[in-house]
Structure 1
C-alpha cells in the first residue's frame, strides 16, 4: 500500500470530484487569491528594486563613492594622494576637484544659486558619468584658461542660456577694495549642458575646469579627491583604510554619509510594502480555512470510517494538512509563474497598455524616471515563497484539528 497513508488519502481527496460544487468553487477562489497575492508581491517588490537601482545609478553617477579632503580645505599634494589611493585594489578611479557655492546669472535672468565643481576633464570620467550625461557639447570642451562652463539642463533653462551664451558667476567670497568689499565676479561661456535625471544636479550643478575654479577662488590646489570603488557598499571600510594611509592631514567620507537617509527611506518603504501586500496572501489563506472546514464537514462519514479502521487523530490531521498544503502550493506556483513573467516583461506590457489605451503612466514632464523599471531579485522571490507557504500551512491547522476531533459514532449515526 502507498505510504505514507495521509499523503495518499489527501491526494485522492484533491483529485476526486466533489459532490458539493461550492467547495470546489471556494478552493478555486483560494488558489487564485494566493496566486494574485504572490504575483502582486513579486511585481511590486521588483518595481521598488528597479527604482532603487535607477536612483542609485543616477545619484552615484554624479557623486563619488568616497571623497578625500584636506583638513585646511585644500589638498596640496593631490597627485601623491591620488597615487596612494589608486594603490588600493578596490579603487577603480580617482580625480581631483574644487567645489564651492556660487550665484550664476544669465543675460536675461535674475540668477540662481548653484554648486560649481571644478574638474579635470581627462580624469573626471573615471569617477562620474557626467561625460555620458551630456545632451549638448562635450565635457572635453572645458579647457583651462578659457573659462568654459557646463550647466545642468534645468539650470540652463532657468538662466535662459544655451551653448555659446555667457553667464556671470558670483563667487561666495569677497575682495577688499577702496569702495568696500566686492564679490569676486567672472564671466564664463556655456560650452555644454548635461542631464543627470535628478533635480538636485540638473538644477543646481555647474561644472568648470579645475584650474579655472581654483583661479576664481584663489586656491593653490583642489579641495578634494573623488574616488570610484569596485563595490560601493564597501565604501566606508575602504575610505577608512585610505584615510589611515594618508595620515592625519586628510579626512575621508563616503557616499552613504550624504545620502544614507534617502536610501534608508526606500528600504523602509520596501519592507512596509512587503508587509502590506502580504495581507493579500493572508486573506487568501483565510479562504483556504473556509474551504477545508467545509470539506471536513462534507467528509465526516469518511473520517468516521477511517477512525473505526484504526487511523489515529494525528493521521486524520495529516490528511487535511496535505490537502491544504497542496492547494496552497498550487496557488503559490501559479503566482510565481505569473509574477516572474510579468516582471521580466513589465516595460513591454506598460508600453503596450500606453499605446492601446492612450494613457501615460509616468509622464516625462512630471517624473525624472519616465520608464517603469523592474529588477527581479531571486532572494526576494524566495522570501515571498516561504512567507506564502507558511501562511498556507498555518491555515490548514484549525480545519485539520477539527477533523481529528470528529467522533465516529456521532458522525455515522444518521448514515
Structure 2
C-alpha cells in the first residue's frame, strides 16, 4: 500500500471531485490569492531593490567609500606616506588625493558650490564621474590650465556652457596693501557632467589638484579618497587604517555622511515587506475557510477512518497535506510570475507609457526617470518561506478539529 497513508489520502482528497463544489471554488480562490500576494510582494521588493541600487550607484559613484583627511583647512601631513599605507591595505582597490574648497561662483548668475581639486589620471580609481560627461572633456583638468568641469544643474544655475568663463571666490582672506581680501580666480568651463543626483549635479565642480593647491595656498592634498572591495566593509577598514596611520589623520566613510539615507531606504523596504505580508495573511484566511468546510464535508470519512484504527495524529496529517499543497501551488505560481514580472518590469512600464502617453517618472521631476527593478533571490526565498509558514500555520486548527471528530457522533445521521 502507498506510504505514508496520510499523504496518500490527502492527495486523494485533493484530486477527488467533491460533493460540495463550493469547496473546490474556495480552494481555487485561495491558490489565486496566494499567487497574487506572492507575485506582488516579490515585484515590490524588486522595485525597491532597484531604487536602492540606482541611488547607491549614483551617490557612491561621486563620493568615496572612505576618506583619509588631515586637520580641517590644512593639507594631509606626509601624504605620500599615507598613500602607501592605504594602498598596502588588501581591501583598498584604489586611492586618489584631492583638495576640497568651499567657493562662491559668478557668471551670468551666482551660486555657492563645492569645488574639488583632483588628478584626472587617479580620480577614476575612486569615482566614475568621467563616465558621466555630457559635454567637454574630463582630461582637460591639467595643471595650470585653470579649467573647471561643472555639474549640469550647476552650469544651468550659472548660465554657462563649455567654453564660457566663471569667476570663483574662495572665502579665505589674504593680506594685501589694500587690506584683507578673498581669493578670486577666473576659470574656463571645459566640461559638464550629469550624475543624476541633485547633490552633485547642482553643487559640485572639479578643477586640477595643482590649481586647487595654488588657489588654497597649501602644499599637498587635503585628503585621500579610497575605493574598497566591499563598501559594507568600510567601517572595519576605516578603524584599521586609523590605528595604522595615527591620530594626525582622520578616517571617515560613506556611512558617516549618507548612513541615514540608506538606513531610511532599508527601513522602508522592511516596512513594505511587513505590510505586504498582511496581504498574504488575508489570502491564508481563505485557506482556513476552505479547510474548515472540507473538514465538515468529510465528517463521515473521518469517522470511518477512526473506526479502522487511524490515530488523531494521522487524521491531522491528512488535512494538513491539503493546506500545504494549496500553499505550495500558490507559492510556485507566485514565485514564477513574480520573478518574470520583476525581470521584465522596466520594459512593461515603458510599453504602458508608450500606449497611454502617461510618464510615471518624469525626467523633469525625478532623477531616476525609469522604474528600476533588481530581482534578489534572497528576498524571493524569504517571501516563499514566509508564505509557506503562513500556509502551514493555517492548516493547524482545521486539521486539529478534524482529529477531534468523534466517530459515533459523526455517523449518527449517516
Using the size of structure 2 for normalisation, the TM-score is 0.97
SS of corresponding position for 2:365:
coil
Measured in 2, the distance between the counterparts of 1:247 and 1:294 equals 72
Which piece of structure 1 moves more, 273-282 or 354-363? 354-363
Report what 1:75 is aligned to: 76
Given the alignment of the two structures, is residue 5 of structure 1 paired with residue 26 of structure 2, yes or no?
A: no
Aligned residues: 413
Aligned counterparts, 1:294-333, within 5 A: 294-333=293-332
Report what 2:53 is aligned to: 53
Given the alignment of the two structures, is residue 160 of structure 1 paired with residue 163 of structure 2, yes or no?
A: no
Aligned counterparts, 1:153-192, within 5 A: 153-192=152-191
How far apart are residue 245 of structure 1 and its match? 2.4
Measured in 2, the distance between the counterparts of 1:218 and 1:91 equals 30
Aligned counterparts, 1:107-256, within 5 A: 108-109=108-109, 111-256=110-255
Report what 2:407 is aligned to: 408
Measured in 2, the distance between the counterparts of 1:266 and 1:221 equals 38
SS of corresponding position for 2:150:
strand
How far apart are residue 84 of structure 1 and its match? 2.4
CA displacement, residues 266-306 of structure 1 (integer Å, 9 cap, x when unaligned) = 11111100000001110000000000111111111111111
Report what 1:26 is aligned to: 26
Report what 2:87 is aligned to: 86
Measured in 2, the distance between the counterparts of 1:246 and 1:312 equals 72
Measured in 1, the distance between the counterparts of 2:160 and 2:403 equals 81
SS of corresponding position for 1:253:
strand
Which piece of structure 1 moves more, 401-410 or 382-391? 401-410
> 8 Å contact 1:118–1:208 — kept in the other structure?
yes
How far apart are residue 134 of structure 1 and its match? 0.8
Measured in 1, the distance between the counterparts of 2:114 and 2:410 equals 82
Report what 1:39 is aligned to: 39
How far apart are residue 411 of structure 1 and its match? 1.7
SS of corresponding position for 2:148:
strand
How far apart are residue 179 of structure 1 and its match? 4.5
> 8 Å contact 1:76–1:222 — kept in the other structure?
no
How far apart are residue 246 of structure 1 and its match? 2.2
How far apart are residue 191 of structure 1 and its match? 0.5
Report what 1:103 is aligned to: 104
How far apart are residue 165 of structure 1 and its match? 0.6
SS of corresponding position for 2:284:
helix
SS of corresponding position for 1:364:
coil
SS of corresponding position for 2:166:
strand
How far apart are residue 146 of structure 1 and its match? 2.1
CA RMSD of aligned residues (A): 1.3
Measured in 1, the distance between the counterparts of 2:240 and 2:300 equals 74
Report what 2:64 is aligned to: 64
Measured in 1, the distance between the counterparts of 2:71 and 2:366 equals 40
Which piece of structure 1 moves more, 13-22 or 246-255? 246-255
> 8 Å contact 1:76–1:220 — kept in the other structure?
no
Which piece of structure 1 moves more, 199-208 or 209-218? 209-218
CA displacement, residues 7-46 of structure 1 (integer Å, 9 cap, x when unaligned) = 1110000001112111111111100111111111111111
Measured in 2, the distance between the counterparts of 1:186 and 1:262 equals 35
Measured in 2, the distance between the counterparts of 1:62 and 1:261 equals 18
Gaps spanning 5+ residues in structure 2: where? none
Using the size of structure 1 for normalisation, the TM-score is 0.97
Report what 1:393 is aligned to: 392
How far apart are residue 178 of structure 1 and its match? 4.8
How far apart are residue 77 of structure 1 and its match? 2.3
CA displacement, residues 213-254 of structure 1 (integer Å, 9 cap, x when unaligned) = 111111111101111111111112222222222233212111
Gaps spanning 5+ residues in structure 1: where? none
Measured in 2, the distance between the counterparts of 1:58 and 1:39 equals 29
How far apart are residue 258 of structure 1 and its match? 0.9
How far apart are residue 180 of structure 1 and its match? 4.1
